Amino acid sequence: MGTTVNPVIFDQSPPRKAFSWKSRFSVLCGWITAYLLIRTGWIYSYDDWNALPNFKLKADVLVTKDLCTQAPPLTPHTHAELYKNLSGLYESAAFKLTAVQALGGAVQVPTESYDGMAPVGQDARWEVFGKLHEYLLAEFPLVHSSLKVTKVNTYGIVYHWQGTDKSLKPILLAAHQDVVPVDPLTVKDWVHPPYSGYYDGTYVWGRGSVDDKASLVAILVALETLLASGFVPERSIVVAFGFDEESSGTEGAGRLFDELVSQYGKDSFAFLVDEGAGFGEFYGGLFAIPAIGEKGYLDVKVEVSSPGGHSSVPPRHTSIGILASMLVKYESEPYPAVLNRATPFYQTLTCIGAYAQDISEDLRKLILASIDSDVALTELSNILVQDPLTEAQVGTTQAIDLINGGVKTNALPESAWAIINHRIAVDSSVKATMERSIDLLLPLASKFNLSVTAFGENITDASVPSYGSLTLTDAFDGQLEPAPITPTDSASYRLLSGTILATHKASSAYKNLGREMVIAPGMMTGNTDTKFYWDITRNIYRYGHSDATAAYAGIHTINEAYKASALVEQVRFFTTLILNADEAPEL
């Protein structure tokens, strides 16, 4: 790397706050909810095995392991010498310091993105991203002088490293440059200022140090190091950095998609790796969870209109009262959460049943039984969805997040509205979610004599007189279908799994403790920039190679900080991934 930021070494790190895996990845991933069920308070004892007619008791869990097959650790062969040399480099204190300086400098540029920003060129708040580009240009000179660099919509970046074999599909690595804004009222609560990039000898402090500048910097450090080593790839490497993932993604990844399709075409990449969950130890097993799917999204605006007037002569039900009845209806009838064998969550569950050592044998048997028995699957589903976190993982969720109505205490409200956020289960759809809202509220509309327009269609006869109206719309035109599920029987999934395991085995943590790792596919309950990239590859993985202790406090909150050792492991992961992909013509 080029220019550096002088690190500030503080020899006494503050006591680390209580940390949970959920707080680290709550926005980015939901797979951890499975583990939260399998704790002492939820151990389940299923006595009536005769009630499971299709269940045949097995002496072991070999069947579940067949459904959670593990690829062997994969290290480069053709590039074995280079891999060995770089592994040694990554163990050095000097390299760690270089990587830390690169991340600290990136954190110092406050690339905040806000909801409702005007397009690039019309909103001055985008201009700070130009300063980040200047920093990256100086910090990674080989990347910027050796690779083709394309700017998209001014601040999106595409790096292209041309391989020698044009017949091979390129790989795509992604990250985002933007960060969640820091609330000025919370600055005083930070251990170190939120844009200091301060390094205390363990953590790099600041907004974006975890989400997502660690991944961005790790990718660039890996590329810069490979270039410095003289590596020449056979398979092309493409890197895409959006700049508004924390708001909408439309200015960044949305436009990057158009550029990528223009340059490479649809279904043109071997695989994509973007931000996501990582790995951690749960109940006797060390699991890495690359997400192979994401839930869908829909904000339903429910608007009730009725005659106004003076509050001294009120009707029995005002528009606010009618809306309140409808919101109560929503919350009294949540979506049923039912386990489906075809979902990523079920795949996670079978891996837990196969490899977690400290769950109860009864629960393990029930997971195993559910593979073949619908009765057992129903029992398992009924147990798991008792926990709200797992219920959110399994089914479509709904949350009433915004409400508005009325302008004055002595004036009857002529309209009132609320917005219900839906995160759509991977085995459902936007259409099914819209239809359920209609079916749920139509009886109430009839009760209050309201005409109904739903998602652009007249549901009731507009010629029939009514007291008022009910209108359902996609609030912000932001509907999103659940992501296509990435197959796990592919060469790219085996390569990713093998790379994760090889990276783990090369880490100091493995060398010190010897803990084996299991790969279990999972799912994101939130959405990432990958929502724009469905058409350029069917192999999309949302994974960040970090463990549950890498972050000091979490993301999107005060005291965001990232371990320097975890940053080095991310660099090792991306380096190993690039080298392995270069030796895999089957991709």
Summarize pLDDT for 110-160 with one digit per residue, the tens.
999 999 999 999 999 999 999 999 999 999 999 999 999 999 999 999 999
| CATH number of the domain residue 150 falls in | 3.40.630.10
| CATH number of the domain residue 329 falls in | 3.30.70.360
Residue 415 forms beta bridges with which residues? 305
Residue 62: band (very low, low, confident or very high) from pLDDT cuts 50, 70, 90: low
Same domain for 269 and 174: yes
> With pLDDT > 90 as the criterion, what percentage of the chain qualifies?
80
Report the predicted TM-score, pTM, of the whole model to 2 decimal places. 0.89
Please tell me whether residue 21 adopts helix, strand or coil conformation: helix
Residue 389: band (very low, low, confident or very high) from pLDDT cuts 50, 70, 90: confident
Same domain for 322 and 225: no
**Per the residue annotation, which of 112, 139, 178, 569 is the catalytic one?**
178
> Rounded mean pLDDT of 448-474?
95
The residue to which tokens 């039912």 are assigned = 338
| pLDDT at residue 388 in the model | 87
Is 245 marked active-site?
yes
Q: How many residues does the chain have?
A: 587
CA distance 391 to 472: 26
- R_g of the chain, CA atoms, integer Å: 26
pLDDT at 319 over 60: yes
Residue 522 lies inside a defined structural domain of this protein: no
Contact 370, 377 (CB under 8 A): yes
Please tell me whether residue 49 adopts helix, strand or coil conformation: helix
| pLDDT at residue 190 in the model | 97
Residue 175 forms beta bridges with which residues? 241
Known binding residues are 176, 211, 246, 274, 556
Contact 205, 191 (CB under 8 A): yes
Of 146, 15, 68, the closest CA to residue 352 belongs to 68
| pLDDT at residue 417 in the model | 98
| pLDDT at residue 497 in the model | 98
The pLDDT tens digits for 275-297 are 998 999 877 899 999 999 999 99
Is 178 marked active-site?
yes
pLDDT at 23 over 50: no
Same domain for 190 and 318: no
Residue 244 lies inside a defined structural domain of this protein: yes
Same domain for 300 and 209: no
pLDDT at 18 over 50: no
Q: Characterize the bridge pairing of strands 415-424 and 397-405.
A: antiparallel
**Per the residue annotation, which of 139, 200, 224, 245 is the catalytic one?**
245
| pLDDT at residue 509 in the model | 86
Same domain for 308 and 204: no
| pLDDT at residue 63 in the model | 54
Tell me which residue range forms the domain holding 420: 296-335+396-474
Same domain for 535 and 400: no
Same domain for 451 and 321: yes
Same domain for 318 and 208: no
Point out the domain boundary residue: 445, 474, 503.
474
The number of angstroms, rounded, from the C-alpha of 120 to the middle of its chain's C-alpha atoms is 25
Structure tokens that stand for 178 in this block: 């933007």
The pLDDT tens digits for 71-93 are 999 999 999 999 999 999 999 99
Same domain for 232 and 305: no
> Rounded mean pLDDT of 404-414?
96
What is the identity of the amino acid at 388?
P
pLDDT at 239 over 70: yes
pLDDT at 6 over 80: no
CA distance 501 to 495: 10
CA distance 494 to 1: 32
Same domain for 306 and 235: no
| pLDDT at residue 58 in the model | 43
Of 338, 359, 295, 285, the closest CA to residue 523 belongs to 295
Residue 46: band (very low, low, confident or very high) from pLDDT cuts 50, 70, 90: very low
Contact 251, 120 (CB under 8 A): yes
Residue 238 lies inside a defined structural domain of this protein: yes
Residue 344 lies inside a defined structural domain of this protein: no
Same domain for 254 and 147: yes
Q: Which residues contact 325 (CB under 8 A, 6 or more apart)?
A: 317, 444, 448
| pLDDT at residue 390 in the model | 86
Same domain for 156 and 262: yes
pLDDT at 11 over 50: no
Please tell me whether residue 323 adopts helix, strand or coil conformation: helix
Q: What is the mean pLDDT of the chain?
A: 90
Domain count across the chain: 2
> With pLDDT > 70 as the criterion, what percentage of the chain qualifies?
89
Known binding residues for Zn(2+) are 176, 211, 246, 274, 556
Residue 549 lies inside a defined structural domain of this protein: yes
CA distance 480 to 297: 5
SS (H, E, C) 324-379: HHHHHHHHHCCCCCCCCCCCHHHHHHHHHHHHCCCCCHHHHHHHHHHCCCHHHHHH
Q: Characterize the bridge pairing of strands 450-454 and 457-458.
A: antiparallel
The pLDDT tens digits for 538-587 are 999 999 999 988 999 988 999 999 999 999 999 999 999 999 999 999 99
CA distance 487 to 538: 8
| pLDDT at residue 13 in the model | 40
Q: Cα dihedral angle (49, 54, 58, 61), rounded to 10 degrees? A: -100
Residue 378 forms beta bridges with which residues? none
pLDDT at 26 over 90: no
